[in-house]
Amino acid sequence: MKELDIHKIRADFPILSREVYGKPLVYFDNAATTQKPQCVMDKINEMYTTVNANVHRGVHFLSQAATDEHEASRRTVQEFINAASSNEIVFTRGATESINLVASSFCRDFCREGDELVITAMEHHSNIVPWQLQCDYYGLKLEVVPINAEGELILDELEKKITSRTKLIAVTHISNVLGTVNPISRIVEIAHRHDIPVLIDAAQSVQHRKVDVREIDCDFLVFSSHKVYGPTGVGVLYGKEKWLDALSPYQGGGEMISSVSFQKTTFNSLPFKFEAGTPDFVGTAALASALRYITSIGLENIDLYEHELLRYATEKLLAVSGLRILGNAADKSSVISFLVDGIHPYDMGTLLDKMGIAVRTGHHCAEPLMRELGVEGTVRASFAFYNTKEEIDMLISGIQRIVQMFR
């Protein structure tokens, strides 16, 4: 374990030194998207300046160079999550598209009317709606595993939801609202005992802790580049080769074919079968750069540092009169949702913004969870390893000023 040099780290993120409304920016909306280190922006510039050409299509020098870069990025992602093969890494536009891909192809190939899919009460809309679309189309049933008062999954209920008709379980690794870290290895173990594949939504986890798909033994795992310090518009779908082999293509077009005639088309090998059209090879190169950057800092160091921020912020927030935190799981990541008596989350967010402090307000794309919690929305502060205790102090004094204004 090494102590992070936060001063040096912050210097890698140019946006952190800007001001908003004449105040230093305090960026606590990292669960929505993370800021980008200079190396990621440099990579984008370098790609367009020196390598730009379409991948997989040309015999010329630049096309080969762009293809090499794109495929090297795939191997970087493979290593990052410890996948067995780069064939198991499919590039998409984001976690949402990755889930839609699995939902669409899996339900088409493996589900029949009356079959069941299991999700949880703390899912992001991106891990609800794609399954609902398939449920409507094929006449499937969506089962939901409830949570307890602390915001943890009730695992006994998961076992009870599993029937002979259950075809897949899709669960978030870390809740974007509650910060709850779900026991995904245990969930996979339970599911596999019943021969049911599991999809893990890792959109809120790969940036905070080491995720090893072989250790977890999940069948699918998804995440978004922009939440892991990479560029927007790129996502990852990991799938075990046996599953990706068994699934039909999601979209048709260039790249994903082996041969095309008007009578019959045959499909390309993995992972290209799922990558129709020109991929964002500039984005994938920049994602690889982001992954190398956080690997060089060390996810264990990031995890420890962010846990200290979480502990510090939780203690300070709970000392504010009338403030309550939603989500008190024993295993929690660096997201805190809270409400203050008599102050609407929108007012809190707007006033904090005027002080230069960016937090999220609203339902956080988890309306069913809000209903479960009996609230319309929350204020959410989410931390990254470039945040500091001094910034948390600024948040606390901002909240205290707002509380004074309202009392």
| Angle ∠(162,169,329) on CA atoms, nearest 5 | 95
> Strand, helix or coil at 341?
coil
Q: Give the residue from 88, 69, 70 showing the smallest Cα distance to 78.
A: 88
Long-range CB contacts for residues 310-313, cutoff 8 Å, separation at least 24: 310/179, 310/334, 310/336, 310/383, 312/389, 312/392, 313/381, 313/383, 313/392, 313/395
Q: Which residue in the set 30, 34, 126, 334 belongs to the binding site for ligand PLP (CB under 6 A)?
A: 126
Q: Give me the count of residues in the chain.
A: 407
> Which of 88, 115, 152, 201 contacts ligand PLP by CB under 6 A?
201
CA distances from 333 to 208, 268, 291 (A): 8, 39, 19
Measured between alpha carbons, how far is residue 374 from residues 169, 246, 321, 363, 368 in Å? 25, 41, 21, 11, 10
CB of residue 334 vs ligand PLP: minimum separation in angstroms? 13
Binding mask 341-380 for ligand PLP (x = CB under 6 A): ------------------------x---------------
39 is an active site residue = no
Q: How far is the CB of 298 from ligand PLP (least distance, A)?
A: 23
Catalytic residue among 107, 111, 218, 365: 365
Least separation in angstroms between CB 323 and ligand PLP: 23
Binder of ligand PLP out of 36, 70, 74, 124 (CB under 6 A) = 124
Closer residue to ligand PLP in complex, CB, 33/301: 33
Distance separating the N- and C-terminal Cα atoms of the chain: 45
Nearer to ligand PLP among residue 131 and residue 403 (C-beta) = 131
Neighbours of 193 (CB within 10 A): 10
- ω before 271 within 30° of 0 (cis)? yes
User: Least distance from C-beta 124 to ligand PLP, angstroms?
Assistant: 4
Instruction: Give the nearer residue to ligand PLP in terms of CB position, either 39 or 365.
Output: 365
Q: Token match 């596999």: residue?
A: 192
Q: What character string, x for contact with ligand PLP (CB under 6 A) and - otherwise, covers 83-122?
A: -----------xxx--------------------------
String marking each residue 163-182 x if it binds ligand PLP according to CB under 6 A: ---------x---x------
- Residue 57's nearest CA partner among 226, 281, 241 is 281
* 337 scored as a contact of ligand PLP (CB under 6 A): no
In angstroms, give the least distance from the CB of 366 to ligand PLP.
8
Q: Which of 83, 140, 198, 203 is in the footprint of ligand PLP by CB under 6 A? A: 203
In the complex with ligand PLP, the residue whose CB is nearer, 182 or 388, is 182
Q: Which is nearer to ligand PLP, 241 or 303 (CB)?
A: 303
Q: Find out whether 47 and 281 touch, Cβ atoms under 8 Å.
A: yes
**Three-class SS of residue 65?**
helix
User: Which residues contribute to the site for ligand PLP (CB under 6 A)?
Assistant: 94-96, 124, 126-127, 172, 176, 201, 203-204, 224, 365
Active site residues per annotation = 365
